[in-house]
Structure 1
Amino acid sequence: MSGPSVCGPDRSWCCGVGPVLQNSDVRQTSDEEPILPRDRHGVLHPANLPRFAARRYSPSPAAATLVDGYWEVSWRLPPGESIRQRVIEFPAITLTLESGEVPAPLVLTGVHSRAWVREISGEGTAFGIRLRPAGIVLLGGLTPQQVADRTVPVTADDPDPAVHALLVAVARAGDAAGRIRLMDDHAAAAASRAGELHLLANRVVDRLLADVHRPGGAELAGLVGAGERSVQRALRATLGRGPTWVARRIRLQEVARLLATRPDLDITSVAADLGYTDQAHLTTDFRGVAGVTPAAYRRSVVAGS
């Protein structure tokens, strides 16, 4: 999940966003599935997810070079109630469209060093577009460093007019199915500009997701068919972070998932299974990002707080 973003009602493209495919290579519907508390999603209090009717959708194969996936949530909380949701974000840049009691209608969330917090109250909806590493640099003129550790409203002037125009067009497409088709079309067209550096960054993240135990380094570079410096350069150019950092963030999402969903596992076992030298190293890593120790986090999940 990510921080804010909805706009007006027609389907026109505007502000030179770019060409649209005519859906010849893009499917008309996307797979939909609920986001479940047991999934690896970085939401530190996963018991809240059913309250948001959270669901996700897959991009078309033609769009998957730039788009990792879509998600949609809606909420209606009783007057006076709020939820303070903390998230260890996946190492990705996310674009979000929101309506209702939200900070802004269009938002870009960069790669965050630490867990970020969102206060949720009243009622609203959010539609998110999580980008692949190649995404942001091919959809607009931004670098990942420009939006690192930032969750910012997207306007016609800041941080990128091209991204703003794209989000306005997606918002005007109406429901989730229409938004997905439009974004899929645009991403498929933009994917033709992907170079080897962008594709290498995608392969590295895919490899790390497939094996959360794997650290960055020479072995990882060998598995993706590149040199260590090329891997470093690819991730810095697309995510603003190196492979060791990206590997650690993905691994910490798995730590959070196990702590929340497997009360039978002790923390020492979690550390060993995920390749940490010992429990102390896991505790240091987790506290540095989540702001609490693994033991304190598990207690808060059990207590529902």
Structure 2
Amino acid sequence: MTDPLARHIGVSERSGVLEPHNLVRFSARWISPAADLSDVVDTYWSVEWRLPAGDAIEQRIVDYPAITLSVEEGDVPAPYVVTAVRPQAWSRVITGSGSVFAIRLRPAGLAVLSGLDARALAPERELTADLDERAFELLRKVSGAGERSREADARIREHLAERPLTGMQQLANRAVDALVASPRVRTGRAVAAELGTSERTLQRALGETLGRGPNEVARRIRLQEVVRRLSTTDADIVTVAADLGYTDQAHLTTEFRSVAGVTPGRYVRELRRSQANLAGVVGDG
């Protein structure tokens, strides 16, 4: 039965997927958490795939600055995975068949659902009972449920009742909300002033919850918007740089290359070529 709170991830939205045209090759969906969990869970997402033998897709994403807990099945690295904010784009070669159900946390979520230290997390690793029993048990119960999003709602609600949010966690949530609402270049001091706090307090709040400071969190959100505009519109790089408050095109290029590994110009050229190749395959089919 289709989850009424689920919807397909759109090609033109701010998802950070570097080749969004590949989304048609998956069943990729956002699933809304219960409203009373909005301080803990940003979204659930799920992906299912079944590729022909010998086929492979290199999926690359400038991912959202969040910590994610996931249940994975099939041709995947591990059954339970914790993913942290990483310095470069996420990359995985997808083959065979499999599925992922993921809980993308709000900054406050990690402390509610686990004893993990955001500052000590590797970009991606298997989540075992030895690493963190609380989060492991959550994923184990979600994994065995028929309707995973609703099971996750129920279990997370129990955890939240045991561990209410602190003021610092709430500040971290508000900071990310402010950066998502306006993904332009601005200083940590400016964001802190908007939130009515000091830059040092803001750095501490995001460091404790996401393991990253405000400048890096802002950069990831901003680059997701750069990817959206370059991959789904006819906007040129100069215009995108100006609209998002970069000093100039070179500033955007340096920031984009540091995460995506290529310049924006090369990214656009390779994207157009890949889109044309996929269209040819679909046309031949």
TM-score, length basis structure 1: 0.85
Give the 3-state SS of the residue equivalent to 1:78 in structure 2. Answer: coil
User: Is 1:234–2:205 an aligned residue pair?
Assistant: yes
Question: C-alpha distance in 1, partners of 2:247/2:82?
Answer: 36
Deviations 1:72-96 (A, max 9, x none): 1110100000101111111100011
Trace 1:277-288 onto structure 2 (pairs within 5 A). 277-288=247-258
Give the 3-state SS of the residue equivalent to 1:235 in structure 2. Answer: helix
Question: C-alpha distance in 2, partners of 1:297/1:110?
Answer: 25
**Residue 195 of structure 2, aligned match among 218, 224, 239:** 224
**Residue 156 of structure 1, aligned match among 108, 129, 148:** 129
Please tell me whether the aligned partners of residues 113 and 134 of structure 2 are also in contact (alpha carbons under 8 angstroms).
yes
Please tell me whether the aligned partners of residues 30 and 59 of structure 1 are also in contact (alpha carbons under 8 angstroms).
no
Structure with the bigger RCO (C-alpha within 8 Å, sep 6+) is 1
User: Is 1:130–2:104 an aligned residue pair?
Assistant: yes
**Residue 258 of structure 1, aligned match among 229, 237, 244:** 229
User: Is 1:80–2:50 an aligned residue pair?
Assistant: no
1:184 to partner: Cα distance: 4.4
Question: C-alpha distance in 1, partners of 2:175/2:251?
Answer: 24
Q: CA 1:179–1:50 in 2, change beyond 3 Å: closer, same or farther? A: farther
Please tell me whether the aligned partners of residues 173 and 182 of structure 1 are also in contact (alpha carbons under 8 angstroms).
no
Deviations 1:11-37 (A, max 9, x none): xxxxxxxxxxxxxxxxxx762221011
Give the 3-state SS of the residue equivalent to 2:223 in structure 1. Answer: helix
More helix by share: 2
**Residue 182 of structure 1, aligned match among 137, 146, 154:** 154
Q: CA 1:48–1:167 in 2, change beyond 3 Å: closer, same or farther? A: same
Please tell me whether the aligned partners of residues 214 and 220 of structure 1 are also in contact (alpha carbons under 8 angstroms).
no
Question: C-alpha distance in 1, partners of 2:65/2:47?
Answer: 20
State the aligned residue count.
Answer: 273
Trace 1:14-163 onto structure 2 (pairs within 5 A). 31-148=5-122, 150-158=123-131, 160-163=132-135
Deviations 1:45-85 (A, max 9, x none): 11111211111111112211111000011101000001011
Give the CA RMSD over aligned residues: 1.6
Please tell me whether the aligned partners of residues 42 and 253 of structure 1 are also in contact (alpha carbons under 8 angstroms).
yes
Deviations 1:155-201 (A, max 9, x none): 1212x1211111111112223344343344235425x5211000000
2:265 corresponds in structure 1 to: 295
Question: C-alpha distance in 1, partners of 2:97/2:151?
Answer: 21
**Residue 173 of structure 2, aligned match among 202, 206, 211:** 202
Question: C-alpha distance in 1, partners of 2:63/2:218?
Answer: 13
Q: Which structure 1 segments of 5+ residues have no match?
A: 1-28
1:227 to partner: Cα distance: 1.7
1:22 corresponds in structure 2 to: none
Question: C-alpha distance in 2, partners of 1:58/1:187?
Answer: 18
1:301 to partner: Cα distance: 1.3
1:21 corresponds in structure 2 to: none
TM-score, length basis structure 2: 0.91
Deviations 1:89-126 (A, max 9, x none): 11100011111111111101111011121110111111
User: Is 1:247–2:218 an aligned residue pair?
Assistant: yes
1:14 corresponds in structure 2 to: none
Task: Tell me whether 48-57 or 274-283 shows the greater mean CA deviation.
Answer: 48-57
Give the 3-state SS of the residue equivalent to 2:211 in structure 1. Answer: coil
1:216 to partner: Cα distance: 3.2
Q: Which structure 2 segments of 5+ residues have no match?
A: 276-285
Please tell me whether the aligned partners of residues 30 and 58 of structure 1 are also in contact (alpha carbons under 8 angstroms).
no
Please tell me whether the aligned partners of residues 120 and 211 of structure 2 are also in contact (alpha carbons under 8 angstroms).
no
